[in-house]
Amino acid sequence: MAHGPAEGITRWLYTTNHKDIGTLYLWFSFAMFLTGGFFAMVIRAELFQPGVQLVQPEFFIQMTTMHGLVMVFGAIMPAFVGLANWMIPMMIGAPDMALPRMNNLSFWILPFAFAILISTLFMEGGGPNFGWTFYAPLSTTYAPDSVNYFIFAVHIMGASSIMGSINIIATVMNMRAPGMTYMKMPLFVWTWLITAFLLVAVMPVLAGAVTMMLMDINFGTSFFNAAGGGDPVLFQHVFWFFGHPEVYIIILPAFGVVSQIIPTFSRKPLFGYSSMVYATAAIAFLSFVVWAHHMFTVGMPIAGELYFMYATMLIAVPTGVKVFNWITTMYRGAITYETPMLFCIAFVILFTFGGFTGLMLSVAAADIQYHDTYFVVAHFHYVMVAGAVFSGTAAVYYWLPKWCGRMYDETMGKVQFWLAFIAFNITFMPQHFLGLAGMPRRYADYGLQFADWNMVSSVGAFLYGGAQILFLYNVVRTIMYGEPVKEAKVWEGAEGLEWLVPTPAPYHTFIRPPVVTSSAAGEDEWSISGATPHVAFKAAPGAG
Amino acid sequence: MSEEKYYVPEQSALPIFCATAMGVMAFGAASWVIEGGDAKIFLVGLALMTIVMYKWWSLVIEENMQGLASPQLKHSYVLGMLWFIFSEVMFFAAFFGALFYVRVFVNAWIGGEASVVLFDNTPTDAATANNDILWPGYERQWPVMETPDQAVNGEEAIFKGPDKNMSLPLWEYPASQWFSKLYTLLPWLPLWNTVILLSSSVTVHFAHTALKEGNRNVFLRYLGITVMLGFFFLCLQVAEYYEAYVHYGLTLQSGIYGTTFFMLTGFHGAHVTLGTGMLLIQLIRGLKGHFSHEDQFGFEAASWYWHFVDVVWLGLFIVVYIFG
Ligand code: HEM
Ligand SMILES: [Cu+2]
């Protein structure tokens, strides 16, 4: 094995190094974030005022579709896979991911998949125009030809996700340093292990859904056609059997990140480590049995409505355990408010808010009013933007010094945080009001009574877009000119193996696994050969 | 470095070429299925993929022969294969689930009946309305021999049911005659396919035991038999499809019954093809003497896959054929 990175472009094209691949994922994800963000700007510009202003309705709906697809599959998911690649081997003391070449394959599929997906916008008949949930028959009988490109793009990005997840599972199960038992793993590793399991379980179901579409469109089958004995509602069942676990695929790694950062800046170990693990597992399990809460208005039997309502509400219990634990971790901690911590605190508040609106939506009778309105849009942006995107941003600020050996500009970070936080709320808070007042989602135009809040929301969206440019600037500036950091432990309160390796993290870490010994106080002491022992990982009470 | 335990390979051009091949294949497949399209781009992708796969597997086998694969690395391969099989299980689950939903719920609703009876037996208004307003005349039935489209539009229907289905022949007779009609099962292909596939699971197991005992000749013989059985299975399936298309009027287009029948058995058949291919490669490797009684991962992976394909078939045999 070579000691440093290869020279030139092949370093990135041919790499087998988890850190390089992590970096690729993160940059790709940011590029997609800006692309999806651009689509969002088109949407909000059109909705700035009532009436058809900038784009035709046919194009508007392509924008909402692409915005959702690109953000979910291109921005958020790859961002967390990037973090997993960088951090999991370093957190469990492994030399690399278990299957390094497959790791590189998983990444390089993505640019192809998204090139195909985005190219559909320029095709005859336009791009996908059926929403990111691509309900049949909009996506079958009435779809443009480009739907076929969409289908195969989904196929290969699914293959990428499955391989990526298998790699993560194999890494966590097989590559932990001796002494790193399951119940000593950092929570980020745990949440990713469970997320990877969810991915392997549901990505194939998504593949099944698009395969059924492909057959209905081109080969005369009747999965989603009642004339032949099938049912369009079948599509919704298959899709949401994938789709609801998918939203937890998005949020669980975010939970993991927050569970790493809050203890660091509270200078206290995470409260209730093992309950965090069990809560994560419970959420993952429940996510398989609640999918039809997206379908309360579709005409399910009453027994179905009731079952899915109560099952959905149950998820609030383990989610509540997590929120409780984060708050209790902060309670009486010596808290400092660096940028990552600010984003995490905002996460806890805003995610909880989104959870509450979720709870409102889970009331089947009430959902008949809320369904397909901006209230739903507001709900899922609170959990996905203030949840997943905020925690992803926090993670970048938190680990960036470890990755590149330079410190970001704290003032600029804080400015970015406040800009993002305020702009986010200006954008999405009014959408609750719009939705409750009855404004439907996915339309290019709206009634005059919705005009004021829409204008506010659009202004917020442009500000939020601006905050991302500031983020990009801060990250690039840090990598190029940031203040060098030398300490292995960049943050005073940080615990974990990644803070034991030098800063910046060398190209290969843990070529020899770290060694763990037990101190007099019964705490684990980790050391890497050559360095003096540090107490790097205190086992949580009751754990391990 | 010699003290390294886990083999982290040097950088490699294979993954990105593999990704390129996948991208070209995906794009090519889409342009192929669109009306007026052709397969050119897809075939280019496929050719590239074939080369990459050949090179990649050869490389892995070579590394293995050089002893680079530590037990820990092999365990990664084991985990990789098992979780891959799990993902395949979930892929089939989507199609089995679709079949279940259509049979149990949709069929009842468009036929104006209650589906699962939990509390009382009266169909709801919504259920009867489905039938009265949308598909009057359609009766709940499985297999769907007359589609809702036919019930409403008669000869003009686009979706027409098959003339004959693939279910257990005994169902055509009253229960009292089943015993005397047992002979009708003899020409029933699915039964033979079940026998073949189940025996192949046994032979592959024998091959495995022989390999573990270091009994090379027995290993090769049983592995060879397994590959043959896989091949027979596929031949019979071709015969069955021919029968369906030519004599039963049963095609992919014959409503939901044809849809689910061909999609489930078709994907299974595709997996049998893949599994037979994997076993064949292991047979060739075995003939070249690649396996030792400690090192047999390639063969084991293929045989797990084979058992999985077998289990899927059992599910199919029960829900698609016997109670089809
Ligand atoms: C306590 C937790 C949650 C509950 C009870 C809940 C409940 C719901 C319900 C009932 C709906 C359907 C609303 C409708 O269409 O009428 C919904 C939509 C949605 N939720 Fe949640 N949710 C929760 C958490 C989350 C999380 C953590 C995420 C993602 C990170 C999420 C993402 C979404 C998305 C994307 C949609 C809309 C999908 C669409 O129609 O486009 N939710 N939620
Ligand atoms: Cu959901």
Domain ranges of chain B: 1-69
ipTM over 0.90: yes
Residue located via tokens 């408010």: A337
Interchain CB distance below 8 Å, B34 and A225: no
Is A274 near chain B, with CB under 8 Å?
no
Residue in chain A nearest B157 by alpha carbon: A227
In tens, the pLDDT along B122-179 reads 666 666 888 889 999 999 999 999 999 999 999 999 999 999 999 888 888 888 888 8
Per-residue pLDDT averaged across A283-307, rounded? 94
d(CA B259, CA A221): 5
Coil/strand/helix, residue A526: strand
Q: Which residues of A214-234 are buried (b: 16+ CB within 10 A; e: fewer)?
A: bbbbbebbbbbbbbbbbbbbb
Of the candidates A6, A94, A96, the beta carbon closest to that of B11 is on A6
Separation of alpha carbons A137 and A143, rounded Å: 8
Distance CA B109, CA A247 (A): 31
Q: Helix B216-243 vs helix B189-212: angle between axes, to the nearest 10 degrees?
A: 160
CB B221 within 8 Å of CB B317: no
pLDDT the model gives residue B67: 79
Determine the Cα–Cα distance for residues B309 and A447; give it in Å rounded to an integer.
56
Q: Which CATH class is domain A10-527?
A: mainly alpha
Tell me the average pLDDT across A219-232.
96
Residue B35 is predicted with a pLDDT of 87
pLDDT at position A543 over 50: no
> What is the Cα A432 distance to its own chain's centre?
22
Cis preceding linkage at A137, omega within 30: yes
User: Which range among A166-170, A363-367, A531-535, B297-301 shows the weakest confidence by mean pLDDT?
Assistant: A531-535
Residue for token pair 């958020």:
A76
Q: Is the pLDDT of residue A305 over 60?
A: yes
Candidate list A268, A322, A371, A379, residue with the active-site label: A322
CB count, 10 Å around CB of A121? 16
Closest by CA position to B285, among listed B231, B233, B227: B227
Q: H helices within A175-230, ranges in order?
A: 187-218
CATH architecture of B1-69: Orthogonal Bundle (1.10)
The residue in chain B having the minimum alpha-carbon distance to the alpha carbon of residue A227 is B149
The predicted structure's pLDDT at residue B2: 34
Q: In whole angstroms, what is the distance from residue A82 CA to residue A97 CA?
A: 12
Chain-chain contact of B6 with A95 (C-beta, under 8 angstroms) = yes
What mean pLDDT is predicted for residues B261-286? 95
pLDDT at position A1 is 47
Do residues A513 and A174 lie in contact, with contact meaning Cβ atoms separated by under 8 Å?
no
Centroid of ligand 1 to alpha carbon of A379 (angstroms):
7
Among this protein's residues, is A67 annotated catalytic? yes
The H or E element spanning position B313 is: helix B297-316
The total of other beta-carbon atoms located within 10 Å of residue B68's CB is: 12
| A504 upstream amide cis, omega within 30 of 0 | yes
Q: A417 forms bridges with which residues in the sheet? A: none
Q: What pLDDT, in 10s, does the model give residues A387-413?
A: 999 999 999 999 999 999 999 999 999
CB contact under 8 A, A14 and B23: no
- B116 or A163: whose pLDDT is higher? A163
Which 3 state secondary structure label does DSSP give A534?
Answer: strand
Decide: pTM greater than 0.90: yes
Task: Name the residue type at position A455.
Answer: M
Q: Which pLDDT does position B119 carry in this prediction?
A: 54
Question: What is the pLDDT, as a whole number, of residue A530?
Answer: 52
Each domain of chain A, given as residue ranges in start order, spans: 10-527
* For helices A410-436 and A339-361, angle between their N-to-C axes, nearest 10 degrees: 10
**Closest to A270 (Cα-Cα) out of A258, A254, A281, A259:** A259
* Amino acid sitting at position A58: E
Residue A155 annotated to the active site = no
pLDDT at B62: 87
Query: What pLDDT, in 10s, does the model give residues A86-131?
Result: 999 999 999 999 999 999 999 999 999 999 999 999 999 999 999 9
Question: How many angstroms separate the CA atoms of A395 and A339, rounded?
Answer: 10
pLDDT at residue B117 greater than cutoff 90 = no
The rounded distance, in Å, linking the Cα atoms of B49 and B69 is 25
Q: Ligand 1 pocket: which residues have CB below 6 Å?
A: A 133, 247, 250-251, 293-294, 312, 315-316, 319, 355, 358-359, 361-362, 367, 370-371, 376, 379-380, 383-384, 387-388
Name which of A23, A5, A25 is nearest A164 in CA terms.
A25
The mean pLDDT value for B78-102 works out to 97
Asked if the C-beta of B23 comes within 8 angstroms of chain A's C-beta atoms, the answer is: yes
- H or E segment and range at residue A407: strand A406-407
The band of B49, judged by pLDDT with boundaries at 50, 70 and 90, is: very high
- pLDDT tens digits for range A329-380: 999 999 999 999 999 999 999 999 999 999 999 999 999 999 999 999 999 9
Task: Among B4, B56, B83, select the one facing A1 at the smallest CB separation.
Answer: B4
CA-nearest of A340, A382, A404 to A27 is: A404
* pLDDT grade for A520, boundaries at 50, 70 and 90: confident
Is a pLDDT exceeding 50 seen at residue A223?
yes
- What is the DSSP-derived secondary structure letter of residue A75? I
- Provide the pLDDT for residue B224: 97
Interchain proximity A104–B22, CB inside 8 Å:
no
| DSSP, residue by residue, A270-335 | PTTHHHHHHHHHHHHHHHTT-GGGG-TTS---HHHHHHHHHHHHHHHHHHHHHHHHHHHHHTT---
Task: Tell me what percent of the residues of chain B surpass a pLDDT of 70.
Answer: 94
Question: Which residues have CB under 8 Å from A160's CB, separation 6+?
Answer: A105, A106, A107, A109, A110, A113
**Do B103 and B142 touch, CB atoms closer than 8 A?**
yes
Distance CA A125, CA A393 (A): 37
Q: Tokens 């009453």: give the residue.
A: A302
Q: Which residue has the tokens 């292909």?
A: B189
Residue closest to A216 by CA, chosen among A331, A114, A139, A313:
A139
What SS3 state is found at A483? strand
- How much is the pLDDT for B203? 97
Residue A267 above 80 pLDDT?
A: yes
Per-residue pLDDT at A496 exceeds 60: yes
What pLDDT, on a 0 to 100 scale, did the predictor assign at position B126? 66
CB contact residues (below 8 A), chain A span 64-103, against chain B? 94-96, 98-102
∠ Cα A310 A315 A320 (to 5°): 125
Checking if the pLDDT of A544 tops 60, the result is: no
Which pLDDT belongs to residue B118?
60
pLDDT by residue (tens digit) across B256-271? 999 999 999 999 999 9
The SS3 call for residue B193 is: helix
Judge whether B113 is closer than 8 Å to chain A, CB to CB.
no
Token couple for B293: 């009684």
CB contact under 8 A, B256 and A15: no
Assign A77 a pLDDT band (cuts: 50, 70, 90): very high
Other beta carbons within 10 angstroms of residue B214's beta carbon come to 12
pLDDT, position B175? 87
Ligand 1 atom closest to Cα of residue A316: 1
Q: Cα(A375)–Cα(A312) distance, rounded to whole angstroms? A: 18
* A264 band by pLDDT with thresholds 50, 70 and 90: very high
How confident is the model at residue B280, as a pLDDT? 96
Give the CA distances from residue B217 to residues A117, A338, B65, B160, B298, in Å, rounded to whole numbers and listed in that order. 52, 68, 21, 53, 18
User: Which chain A residues touch B16 with a CB distance below 8 Å?
Assistant: 13-14, 104-105, 108
Tell me how far apart the alpha carbons of residues B235 and B275 are, in angstroms, rounded to a whole number.
15
For residue A533, pLDDT beyond 60? no
* Stretch A35-61: mean pLDDT: 97
Mean pLDDT of all residues in A507-521: 83
What's chain A's Rg over C-alpha atoms?
23
Does residue B4 register a pLDDT over 50?
no
Is residue B1 pLDDT above 60, yes or no?
no
Q: Which pLDDT does position A3 carry in this prediction? A: 65
